[in-house]
Amino acid sequence: MSTCPADDRSTKRRRIEPPLAKRDPEGYHEDGDCVVRAENTLFKLHGFFIKRDSSVLRGLLEGDSKGAAVEGTDHAPLNRQGDKAQDWRCYIRYRYATPNELLPGRFLSTALTHLISFSRFASGYDMKEWAVWPHGILAHLIRTHANVYTLQDFTSLFDFAHELHHELLREATVIAWMQQIVSGRLSSADAMQVGERLGDRGFLTALYEHVLREQLSIFSLEQNARGPAAALNPSNRVDLGLPPLHTQRILSAYSTLTRAWAQLRQTPPPLLQHPQCKVASAPVPAERHTTACLNAHVNLWRVTFASVDAMSIPWTANGMRQRLECVRNTLLKGQVPGDVFGGYCRYVPSFARDDFLMNCFASVPLTTRRYLFGDEAEDAAAVRL
Ligand SMILES: [Zn+2]
């Protein structure tokens, strides 16, 4: 019951007289009392269902002040020739199904496009319950059959979710689509085109982050194979194999984040002299502090950054927070070279509001989107734009 058979349109030819309508082998219930024509197919069902489900169709069947009621027979069907026969077939199938037959697990992967079409059909006739019902099935299908769906399937569902502003369906599609892209079955460039057309920045950000991660792993593979010099070779031009628009955005995030990181590496937190350092370095308190403590402090900062730089962390906002976390942890371990001087002066990260690293954390936006699109306000609330 999960798929609609192909439309019965093989008989469609150019004729002068209107083509004869055929009874649908599945959707023509002899004991029904209302005949509907969609394309060249006749369906027969119980008018009671139609009238209850759709005020639009009820109006047509019962007639209004202007026109006569529709008879609803083979000779005078309720004429809905502009509808897809397939949508009516699906409607009748679902209407006459048992509750068990409508459980999400009963649907095959191929039902996806039919359900999207059916939901639009139901919504057009103001069949509110029937319009909403397929959404849950669609989310189930995209989660369980993602590995068989094509770019076209993903695009149709994504368009549909956007059309409805259906955040859950959109989210389910993004997750399933990203899985297929990460596994290498579907292309990120194709997905970017769709994301760009719909202006879906959340999706684009996920795609860009994926490209950044991929580049990072290629980069470290090359480094391992050819040594660090390979990475510094200026002839290694960046070619992500993507349209310039996307490459530019990805690289701008990369350059913003790497620049901020390089700056932080050069800027250790200010170090105040500890009172005991002053006492211990008498009679010239400043000298000991500037020669020993500050040097040790700068040295520790550099060593800490070098150890974090050796980790493969992607250049995303989230990656940036991971880096800062690593810096904090390394500093907290307290392997302070300054200790050999018996120094009292060191920077210890804290959770205080005015703490240097806390301020660094606070300055990293919650998502990479700000770097990619220059969104200032999005970090606070907006999930999608
Ligand atoms: Zn000192």
Pick from 168, 240, 234: nearest CA to 207: 240
Phi, psi of 186 (to 5 degrees): -120, 155
For the chain, how many helices (H) and strands (E)?
17, 4
Question: In the predicted model, is pLDDT for residue 72 greater than 70?
Answer: no
Q: Do 231 and 238 touch, CB atoms closer than 8 A?
A: no
Ligand 1 center–CA 299 separation, angstroms: 14
Give mean pLDDT, residues 309-317: 82
Question: In the predicted model, is pLDDT for residue 4 greater than 80?
Answer: no
Pick from 228, 193, 187: nearest CA to 210: 187
Ligand 1 center–CA 305 separation, angstroms: 22
Question: In the predicted model, is pLDDT for residue 63 greater than 80?
Answer: no
Ligand 1 center–CA 343 separation, angstroms: 6
DSSP string across 100-153: GGGSGGG--TTHHHHHHHHHHHHHHTT-HHHHHHHHHHHHHHHHHSGGG--HHH
Ligand 1 center–CA 364 separation, angstroms: 31
- Helices 151-164 and 128-144: crossing angle in degrees, nearest 10, is 140
Cα 129 to Cα 123: distance, rounded to the nearest angstrom = 9
Ligand 1 center–CA 273 separation, angstroms: 5
Ligand 1 center–CA 347 separation, angstroms: 11
Pick from 225, 224, 191, 183: nearest CA to 208: 191
Look at the alpha carbons of 149, 154, 160, 161 in this order and tell me if their dihedral is positive or negative: positive
Contacts of 299 (CB under 8 A, 6+ apart): 337
Dig out the tokens for 290 from the structure: 């500037």
Cα 223 to Cα 372: distance, rounded to the nearest angstrom = 26
- To which H or E segment does residue 315 belong? none
Ligand 1 center–CA 341 separation, angstroms: 9
Residue 147: the pLDDT is 96
Ordered strands of the 22-28 beta sheet: 22-28, 41-45, 34-38, 78-79
Q: Do 35 and 72 touch, CB atoms closer than 8 A?
A: yes
Q: For 90-127, how does the pLDDT look when each residue is reduced to its tens digit (9 = 90+)?
A: 999 999 999 999 999 999 999 999 999 999 999 999 99
Ligand 1 center–CA 361 separation, angstroms: 27
Residue 46: the pLDDT is 92
Mean pLDDT of the chain: 81
Highest mean pLDDT pick, 179-193, 207-221, 263-277: 179-193
Instruction: Point out which residues pair with 38 in neighbouring strands.
Output: 41
126 phi-psi bin (left φ>0, alpha ψ -120 to 50, beta other): left
Q: What percent of the chain has pLDDT over 70?
A: 78
Ligand 1 center–CA 283 separation, angstroms: 14
Q: For 341-361, how does the pLDDT look when each residue is reduced to its tens digit (9 = 90+)?
A: 456 788 888 888 888 888 888
Ligand 1 center–CA 200 separation, angstroms: 53
Ligand 1 center–CA 336 separation, angstroms: 13
Pick from 242, 221, 212, 235: nearest CA to 320: 212
Ligand 1 center–CA 270 separation, angstroms: 12
